[in-house]
Structure 1
Amino acid sequence: MDTTSSTTAKTPQVIGSFVRFVVFGGGVGLASSATLILLCGHLPFAAANALVTVGSTLIATELHSRFTFGRDKPGTSDHVKAALTVLVCYLFTTAAMLTLQAIQPQAGVLVRQAVYLSASGLAGIGRFAFMRLVIFAKKSPTGPKATPRVLAREAVATAA
């Protein structure tokens, strides 16, 4: 069985998905970073980060579902699964910022932004992997959730 063409075909799809993920996620991340700066003047950092993380994750999930992973509209279960990544991203970025504050309490805005965006980028890579492999994974018709009706439809479509 030759898997070379299958592997070659999947590689551009993964790269294209990742590029779209970076563009959409990065755009949302940059907007979130600016929003975080504005909110920190009015709220404690942890609260501001929680609001920004939840809002940006909802927006990013919609964008990723439609444009990055080619689904029409994310369902409620997709948003619930994506919400798990909210906690991870929140804890990761908050830990990074609190660590910076402990190490360098007088860090300037550029250093804070660099740490926050770096932590967000690392969390984003984990989010991409989770979303691609778990939330928006293509369902195989021969997988455990395949029903006789799905298998019959696939057989008819293949024969036609």
Structure 2
Amino acid sequence: NNSLKELTDMRNEMRDFLGQNNTKPEDIRKLAEQVLKKNVHKTPEEVKELADNIKNAVERLTNTDYIIKATKDDLAKVNQLKEHAKYAKSNATKLLKEAEDVNDSLNKTQDAQMEAETAIQQAWEDYRTVENILNQIGNDTEAAQSTTGSIDKHIHLLKDKLT
């Protein structure tokens, strides 16, 4: 079969070509065998065109050492940025923890301040109550002194009448 011969020739060409790029022949052979097992409904011209397209694509990828070398600095930059991101994340985590601690402290301080305000308000209420009681005692004392003074006058008057 002419198509089979062309595919076999193409496989051999691919093996030779890819073998120059340190590609394992066994891997390429497996790939070619998989290709050969496919049922292709193409004309020999279409298959040849596809083979040429594949060959051109492979030729563009043959300079992988150059591509790796050319992207090496980019990879180093990416790794450097990754480390910087880890460091920034670590610092952000620490800052978040500190902010949460400050927030907790502020909440506790606010609670203590509210308790202190309540205690101060209660103290003022107690002070006014004591002040009212003292005013009442003062009024009662004045009334008692007035009564005592009045009784004392009556006693002197009675004493003067008796003497």
TM-score, reference length from structure 2: 0.28
Q: Which structure features the higher share of helix residues?
A: 2
Larger Rg: 2
Structure of higher RCO (CA pairs closer than 8 Å, 6+ residues apart): 1
TM-score, reference length from structure 1: 0.28
